[in-house]
């Protein structure tokens, strides 16, 4: 079946089997370029390695039908390259040694990006609980969760400081 | 890979049912799809109901709460209309289901139509006298949620479409609390208990005790409810609550499986029912997930 999506800001037409998952179409093609940041993990909606944004909301692309994306916007890490918030998150993960094998990193980054974007829009700063809740769907078997949470906390604090400075400058 | 022949996208409720009835072969409705992709059912086609206008959450002029079957668990967990209804019993149940990315697409209709004995939203909805709205090609029907489930993974639907769930304005003012025992936060519940009481001055009006994961279908412990309903609060001493809890434990029909023994489940129904009745009567509306298995220490 034909599926029309806005992938990372660009209109794309996919040819996909009716039972295909969003993960399989994004990662395996046949259309190029393949979004290899979207990892195949559990394929049961538990590990979060395949997390992408569907209309700005995080989803496990392994348990979402490709056809579900028809007429909607899909965002992967590839589409957020160079985005200041994503760049800050990536730098913070590296700085806090929150990346080891890296398989969970794209999913974690998508989840954290969504959280911080949402908090910024609401004018709030996420606390420990909100960060852990946002990462609740992303399993990591290398570093664990302390370092990713510390990285996200650091970025959130920077964003809050920038927000205060901007408010002061006005 | 799910071997489907066709993915049909419906534009209206009537069209969805017509697409389901049309054949050839077997069809399944799909909304979020998070359960379907876990265990893809053998079928020829699916009917996508994401575009038929069933994802709304609204208060009617009478104050009833209507939740469309395609409303996502994230929307239900965060919508002020639901968080402010009966102490947020239903929104808390939705918030404890799966993880954030699952809740983005998983729907209340899917949770109910999948009809697992452990359906996360069922006890909270049963405790608030939820009514289901079901559409056929040219007719609609409503029935109490307790009549919706006919067995594990079985419902009354038979090709018809669950359109939504309604909760009466009256139940919005009930005091309620729920507990969900699991090994880990994401695991399927071992035991679920939801309690809702209508407090009418010095007396309990309606009393509801709903159980999940302890019978072939989510159920109400009606004999236990009868011991509490209409009673003076002063008469509901710890002994009386323990009696009601013991009756509830007797009413459930748990099984042994790899997650827990039937004996443990039955014991926990008693413990949780007693504690929840006490805490609701004391004015607390605790709907914490209860992942700590603290029930064992009772």
The predicted pLDDT at position B293 comes to 37
The answer to whether A4 faces chain B, any CB pair under 8 Å, is: no
**pLDDT category of residue B284 using cuts at 50, 70 and 90:** low
User: Alpha helices, DSSP H only, in chain A?
Assistant: 22-28, 77-80, 84-95, 105-122, 128-134, 146-169
Q: For chain B, how are helix, strand and coil distributed in percent, rounded to 5?
A: 35, 25, 40
Contact B104 A44 (CB under 8 A): no
Q: Determine contact: A9 vs chain B, CB below 8 A.
A: no
Q: Tell how strand B175-181 and strand B191-200 pair up.
A: antiparallel
CATH superfamily of A2-79: Beta-grasp domain (3.10.20.30)
The mean pLDDT value of chain A amounts to: 94
The predicted-structure confidence for B80-117, as pLDDT tens digits, reads as follows 999 999 999 999 999 999 899 999 999 999 999 999 99
Q: What pLDDT, in 10s, does the model give residues B236-261?
A: 999 999 999 999 999 999 999 988 99
Q: What pLDDT, on the 0 to 100 scale, is given for residue A98? A: 94
CA count, 13 A, side-chain hemisphere, B16 = 26
Model confidence at B7: pLDDT above 90:
yes
Most A CBs within 10 Å: which of B11, B101, B182, B289, as the mutation test of the A interface? B101
Residue of A nearest to B101 (CA): A59
User: Which helix (DSSP H) or strand (DSSP E) does residue B143 occupy?
Assistant: strand B140-144
Residues of B in contact with A130 (CB under 8 A): none
- Residues with Cβ within 8 Å of B116's Cβ and at least 6 positions away in sequence, in order, are B152, B153, B188
Report chain B residues touching chain A, CB-CB < 8 A: 1-7, 9, 30, 32-34, 37-38, 40, 45-46, 48, 50, 74, 98-102, 104-105, 185-186
Nearest to B34 among A45, A48, A58 (CB): A45
| Cβ proximity of A155 and A115 under 8 Å | no
Kindly list the domain boundaries of chain A, sorted by start residue. 2-79, 82-169
Report pTM. 0.92
Q: Is B25 left (phi over 0), alpha (psi -120 to 50) or beta?
A: left
Contact list, B5 vs chain A (CB under 8 Å): 18
Which residues in chain A touch residue B37, judged by CB atoms under 8 angstroms apart?
21, 43, 45, 62-65
> How large is the average pLDDT for residues A115-140?
94
Confirm or reject CATH 1.20.1560.10 for domain A82-169, answering yes or no.
no
Taking the C-alpha atoms of residue B13 and residue B290, their distance in angstroms, rounded to an integer, is 38
CA B177 to chain centre: 13
The rounded distance, in Å, linking the Cα atoms of A62 and A51 is 8
């Amino acid at each position: 079946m034909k599926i029309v999506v806005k992938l990372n800001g660009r209109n794309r037409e996919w040819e996909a089997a009716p039972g295909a998952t969003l993960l399989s179409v994004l990662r395996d093609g046949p259309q190029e370029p393949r979004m290899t940041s979207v990892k195949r993990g559990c394929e049961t909606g538990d590990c979060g390695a395949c997390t992408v944004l569907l209309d700005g909301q995080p989803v496990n692309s392994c348990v979402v039908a490709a056809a579900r994306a028809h007429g909607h916007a899909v965002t992967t890490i590839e589409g957020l390259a160079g985005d200041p918030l994503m760049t800050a998150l990536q730098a913070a993960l590296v700085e806090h040694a929150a990346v080891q094998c890296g398989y969970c990193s794209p999913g974690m980054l998508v989840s954290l990006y969504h959280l911080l974007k949402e908090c910024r829009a609401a004018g709030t700063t996420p606390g420990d609980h909100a960060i852990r809740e946002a990462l609740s769907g992303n399993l990591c078997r290398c570093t664990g969760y302390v370092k990713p949470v510390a990285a996200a906390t650091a970025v959130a604090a920077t964003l809050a400081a920038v927000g205060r400075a901007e408010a002061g400058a006005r | 890979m799910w071997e489907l022949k066709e993915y049909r996208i419906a534009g209206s409720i009537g069209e969805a049912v017509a697409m389901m009835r049309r054949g050839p072969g077997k069809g399944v409705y799909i909304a979020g799809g998070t359960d379907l992709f876990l265990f893809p059912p053998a079928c020829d086609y699916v009917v996508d109901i994401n575009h038929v206008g069933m994802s709304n959450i609204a208060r009617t002029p009478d104050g009833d709460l209507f939740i469309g079957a395609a409303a996502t668990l994230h929307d239900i967990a965060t919508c002020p209309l639901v968080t402010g209804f009966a102490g947020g019993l239903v929104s808390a149940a939705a918030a404890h289901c799966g993880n954030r990315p699952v809740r983005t697409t998983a729907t209340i209709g899917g949770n109910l139509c999948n009809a697992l004995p452990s359906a996360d939203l069922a006890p909270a909805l049963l405790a608030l006298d939820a009514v289901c709205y079901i559409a056929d090609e040219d007719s609609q029907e409503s029935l109490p949620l307790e009549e919706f489930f006919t067995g594990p993974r079985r419902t009354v639907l038979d090709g018809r479409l669950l359109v939504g769930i309604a909760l009466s304005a009256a139940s919005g003012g009930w005091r309620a609390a729920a507990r969900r025992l699991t090994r880990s936060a994401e695991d399927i519940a071992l035991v679920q208990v939801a309690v809702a009481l209508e407090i009418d001055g010095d007396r309990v009006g309606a009393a509801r005790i709903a159980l999940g994961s302890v019978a072939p279908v989510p159920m109400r412990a009606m004999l236990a409810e009868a011991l509490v309903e209409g009673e003076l609060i002063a008469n509901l001493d710890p002994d009386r609550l323990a009696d009601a809890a013991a009756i509830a434990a007797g009413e459930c029909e748990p099984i042994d499986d790899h997650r827990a023994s039937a004996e443990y489940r039955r014991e926990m129904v008693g413990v949780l029912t007693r504690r929840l009745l006490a805490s609701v009567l004391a004015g607390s509306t605790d709907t914490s997930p209860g992942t700590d298995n603290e029930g064992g220490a009772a």
